[in-house]
């Protein structure tokens, strides 16, 4: 957590409308502006102990226009999408989806901290875009070869067990109409890039 | 009388959760459930794609919904056995209705592949919901020829089936009893499992293993505390984390849990008198042989880590490819 003093209200802060930006980029109606800072989310979170900021604190930062600090927080990357907070939130904020939004914004702004999480997501997405199906063996080997070649041996027994039990294919499966999927995703990326 | 559903298996059913797939197919035969697989379905994006880019993530799911709607013939219900797949399909359908601009964008992307989906035209349901609420427990009970008497089962649902539950299909978000009632109908002794909808660690086994091990430890400890013989799951990710990472978790904490993690459909199959060999037993890393043996059910031994498939003629290393690598030569 930052040791700097809390920023005073600054009407020239270019990120005053950050809350609106996050809300607009979230699937569904995020209801993030309805947050009453009750803290039920953090109190319900099984991984809060690992987080830089509890969800409540993170949402306060978003509201305060602390764009860079919010996008550097590890909180969205530690969220396990268990939806405990979502069903307990008295304001029905789509908390898990806001976390996804903050992740994608952090990737785009290249603001996430040194972490394997963003790259795991992107490697997964790369596999899906290439084959149309997920591909665990490729995902695991590529992820580890690229980032932690030294940790790969520790993973081998588990991977070997999965292969031995006929639960992990060493070659990917592909969908038939990969061309169609690729056209759809290419168009979706253009749409995403539009303001 | 058979009932027909559209079936979205999801990637895990072909690989890590193959025991779920084969046991489900057997159980469907007994229950006369006709699951029609959606032709050429693609990955749902799991919990990864939405955290990278919104419109492509929903377009990816949208293609599945569009293909399903096109194939729908007398049924509008899509059944998914995997929690993440179920939630993604349900979520996309729900959010496209809640915020129509999302539906417009998704359809603009789908148009590039000559597809279209009208939000709300399909009903997305999880397999357990269909078995408990459509097939019904009376019918399940009528098929039980080999009750699971004396088998203490921890009913484990994980997160994404009972939550967020957009359509209010479940009895409770944190303590639902659907799986308990189904296991009771099979004659099992169902333990009161307080962590039944707690998280298995999800993708943290890949990106922050120590966090995941703690989640796994809590679940194993609680099930063990209640003297469970086996745990019944309904999600490929939960099964994989609790089964394949149980050894790592034990090493990490110096514990010695040996709890077999099975799919609920495997237990249904046993109760229906189907040969355990046809139900994917032996695929689990923590063997269920001893636990099932105690109630007199013989299951195959774990598959030995010998080479099971003939060597491939292709001598190249199976190096995974990704978008951005040079184009593949067909």
Residue A78 sits in a domain whose CATH number is 1.10.1060.10
What is the structure's pLDDT at B201? 93
The pLDDT of residue B329 is 39
Domain count, chain A: 2
The last residue of one of the domains, among A108, A140, A167, is A108
Helix (H) or strand (E) holding B59: helix B54-71
Domain membership flag for residue A13: no
Q: Is the CB of B227 inside 8 Å of chain A's CB atoms?
A: no
Nearest chain B Cα distance for residue A48, angstroms: 11
pLDDT of residue A114: 64
Q: Could you give the C-alpha distances from A40 to A88, B166, B207, in angstroms and in order?
A: 7, 20, 26
A47 pLDDT more than 60? yes
- Nearest residue in B to A117, CA atom: B207
Kindly state whether residues A122 and A100 are assigned to the same domain. no
Q: Are residues A74 and A30 in the same domain?
A: yes
- A95 in the same domain as A57: yes
A-chain CB neighbours of B207 within 8 Å are 77, 115-117, 120
Report the distance separating Cα B224 and Cα B230, nearest Å.
9
Residues B124, B83 contacting (CB under 8 angstroms): no
Residues A124 and A184 in one domain: yes
Return the pLDDT at A135.
79
Q: Is the pLDDT of residue A118 over 50?
A: yes
Secondary structure (3-state) at B230: strand
Is the CB of B46 less than 8 angstroms away from the CB of A80? no
Q: Output B177 or A136, whichever has higher pLDDT.
A: B177
pLDDT at B328: 41
A84 lies in the same domain as A162: no
Which residues of chain B lie closer than 8 angstroms to A126, CB-CB?
Answer: 322-324
The answer to whether B93 touches B65, Cβ cutoff 8 Å, is yes
Do B77 and B8 meet the contact criterion of CB atoms below 8 Å apart?
no
Query: Which pLDDT score is estimated for A91?
Result: 98
For chain B, the 3-state helix, strand and coil shares in percent, each to the nearest 5, are: 45, 10, 45
Confidence tier at A138 by pLDDT (50, 70, 90): confident
Q: What pLDDT does residue B308 have?
A: 47
C-alpha distances in Å from residue B283, one per residue of B243, B244, B253? 10, 11, 25
| A93 and A153 part of one domain | no
Restricting to B residues 251-270, those with a Cβ less than 8 Å away from any Cβ of A are none
Query: In this complex, do A100 and B322 lie within 8 Å of one another by their Cβ atoms?
Result: no
| Residue A146, pLDDT above cutoff 80 | no
What is the pLDDT, as a whole number, of residue B330?
A: 35
pLDDT score of B307: 47
Chain B CB contacts of A151 under 8 Å are none
Torsion of the alpha carbons at A2, A3, A9 and A10, rounded to the nearest 10: -70
- B42 to A132: CB separation less than 8 angstroms, yes or no: yes
Question: Strand B152-155 and strand B261-263: pairing?
Answer: unpaired
Query: pLDDT tens string for chain B (330 positions)?
Result: 568 999 999 999 988 999 999 999 999 999 999 999 999 999 999 988 999 999 999 999 999 999 999 998 789 999 999 999 999 999 999 999 999 999 999 999 999 999 999 999 999 999 999 999 999 999 999 999 999 999 999 999 999 999 999 999 999 999 999 999 999 999 999 999 999 999 999 988 888 888 999 999 999 999 999 999 999 999 999 999 999 999 999 999 999 999 999 999 999 999 999 999 999 999 999 999 999 999 999 998 876 554 444 545 555 555 556 655 544 433
Q: Which chain B residues have a beta carbon less than 8 Å from that of A120?
A: 48, 203, 206-207
Is the residue at A149 inside a domain?
A: yes
Q: Which of A22, A32, A49, A82 is most worth mutating to test chain B (most B CB atoms within 10 A of its CB)?
A: A82
Please give the order of strands across the beta sheet that includes B123-126: B33-37, B3-7, B77-80, B123-126
- Among the four given CATH numbers 3.90.480.20, 1.10.510.10, 1.20.1050.140, 1.10.10.10, the one describing domain B3-126: 1.20.1050.140
Write down the pLDDT at residue A170. Answer: 75
Residues whose CB falls within 8 Å of the CB of residue B129, separated by 6 or more in sequence, listed in order: B169, B170, B178
State the residue range of the domain holding A152: 117-193
Q: Are residues A39 and A93 in the same domain?
A: yes
Can you tell me the ipTM of this complex? 0.90
Interface test with chain A among B8, B19, B53, B92, by most A beta carbons within 10 Å? B53
Rg for chain A, CA atoms, rounded: 19
Q: Where are the domains of chain B?
A: 3-126, 145-294
DSSP code at position B12: G
CA angle A15, A28, A132 (to 5 degrees): 105
CA–CA dist A127, A133 (Å, integer): 7
What lies within 8 Å, CB to CB, of A3 at 6+ separation is none
Question: Is A93 in the same domain as A23?
Answer: yes
The answer to whether B129 touches B136, Cβ cutoff 8 Å, is: no
Stretch A2-20: mean pLDDT: 77
Q: What is the DSSP string of A73-103?
A: -SHHHH-----HHHHH-TT---HHHHHHHHH
How far A59 CA lies from chain B's nearest CA (Å)?
17
Chain A hits for B14, CB-CB cut-off 8 Å, are 133, 169, 173
Residue A176: partners with Cβ closer than 8 Å, 6 or more residues away = B40
pLDDT for the residue numbered B2: 67
Average pLDDT over chain A reads: 89
With cut-offs at 50, 70 and 90, classify the pLDDT of residue A145: confident
> Residue B133 has what DSSP assignment?
I
Q: Are residues A182 and A128 in the same domain?
A: yes
Alpha carbon distance B303, B288 (integer Å): 12
CATH code that applies to domain B145-294: 3.40.50.11810
Residue A38 lies in a domain: yes
Does residue A134 carry a pLDDT above 90? Answer: no
Q: Could you tell me if residue A169 is inside a domain?
A: yes
> Residue B188, class by beta-carbon neighbours within 10 Å (0-12 exposed, 13-18 middle, 19+ buried)?
buried
pTM: 0.91
**Cross-chain CB nearest to B283 (options A167, A185, A192):** A167
Shared domain check, A158 and A77: no
A121 and A81 within one domain: no
Q: Name the packing angle between helices B83-98 and B54-71 (round to 10°).
A: 100
Asked whether residue A29 falls in the same domain as residue A91, the answer is yes
**pLDDT in the model for residue B30:** 98
Question: What's the confidence (pLDDT) of residue B313?
Answer: 54
List C-alpha distances in Å: B222 to A83, A152, B238, B278.
21, 31, 15, 30
Residues of B in contact with A41 (CB under 8 A): none
């Amino acid at each position: 957590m930052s040791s700097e003093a809390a920023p005073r209200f600054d009407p020239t802060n270019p990120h005053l409308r950050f809350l609106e930006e996050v809300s607009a980029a979230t699937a569904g109606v995020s209801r993030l502006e309805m947050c009453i800072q009750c803290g039920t989310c953090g109190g319900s979170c099984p991984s809060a102990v690992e987080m830089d900021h509890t969800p409540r604190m993170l949402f306060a930062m978003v509201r305060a226009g602390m764009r860079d600090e919010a996008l550097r927080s590890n909180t969205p990357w530690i969220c396990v999408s268990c939806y405990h907070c979502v069903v307990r939130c008295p304001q029905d904020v789509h908390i898990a989806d806001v976390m996804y939004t903050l992740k994608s914004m952090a990737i785009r702004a290249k603001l996430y901290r040194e972490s394997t999480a963003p790259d795991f997501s992107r490697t997964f997405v790369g596999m899906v875009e290439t084959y149309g199906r997920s591909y665990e063996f490729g995902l695991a080997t590529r992820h580890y070869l690229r980032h932690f070649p030294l940790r790969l041996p520790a993973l081998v027994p588990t991977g070997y067990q999965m292969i031995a039990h006929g639960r992990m294919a060493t070659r990917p499966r592909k969908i038939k109409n990969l061309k169609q999927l690729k056209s759809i995703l290419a168009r979706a990326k253009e749409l995403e890039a539009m303001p | 009388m058979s009932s027909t559903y559209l079936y979205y298996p999801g990637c895990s059913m072909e690989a890590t959760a193959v025991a779920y797939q084969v046991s489900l197919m057997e159980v469907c035969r007994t229950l006369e459930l006709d699951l029609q697989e959606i032709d050429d379905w693609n990955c749902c994006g799991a919990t990864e794609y939405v955290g990278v880019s919104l419109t492509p993530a929903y377009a990816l799911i949208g293609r599945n919904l569009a293909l399903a709607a096109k194939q729908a013939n007398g049924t509008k219900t899509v059944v998914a056995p995997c929690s993440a797949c179920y939630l993604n399909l349900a979520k996309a359908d729900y959010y496209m209705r809640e915020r129509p601009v999302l539906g417009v964008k998704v359809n603009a992307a789908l148009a590039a592949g000559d597809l279209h989906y009208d939000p709300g035209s399909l009903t997305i349901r999880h397999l357990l919901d269909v078995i408990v609420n459509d097939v019904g427990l009376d019918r399940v009970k009528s098929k039980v020829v080999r009750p699971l008497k004396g088998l203490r089962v921890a009913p484990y649902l994980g997160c994404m089936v009972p939550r967020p539950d957009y359509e209010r299909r479940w009895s409770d978000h944190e303590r639902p009893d659907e799986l308990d009632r189904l296991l009771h109908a099979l004659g099992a002794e169902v333990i009161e499992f307080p962590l039944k909808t707690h998280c298995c660690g999800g993708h943290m086994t890949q990106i922050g293993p120590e966090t995941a091990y703690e989640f796994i430890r809590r679940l194993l400890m609680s099930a063990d505390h209640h003297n469970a013989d086996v745990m019944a799951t309904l999600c490929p990710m939960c099964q994989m984390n609790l089964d394949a990472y149980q050894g790592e978790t034990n090493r990490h904490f110096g514990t010695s849990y040996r709890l077999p993690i099975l799919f609920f459909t495997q237990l249904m199959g046993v109760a229906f008198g189907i040969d355990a060999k046809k139900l994917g037993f032996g695929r689990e890393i923590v063997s269920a042989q001893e636990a099932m043996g105690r109630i007199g059910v013989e299951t195959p031994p774990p598959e030995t880590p010998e080479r099971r498939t003939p060597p491939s003629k292709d001598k190249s290393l199976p190096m995974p490819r990704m978008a951005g690598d040079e184009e593949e030569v067909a």
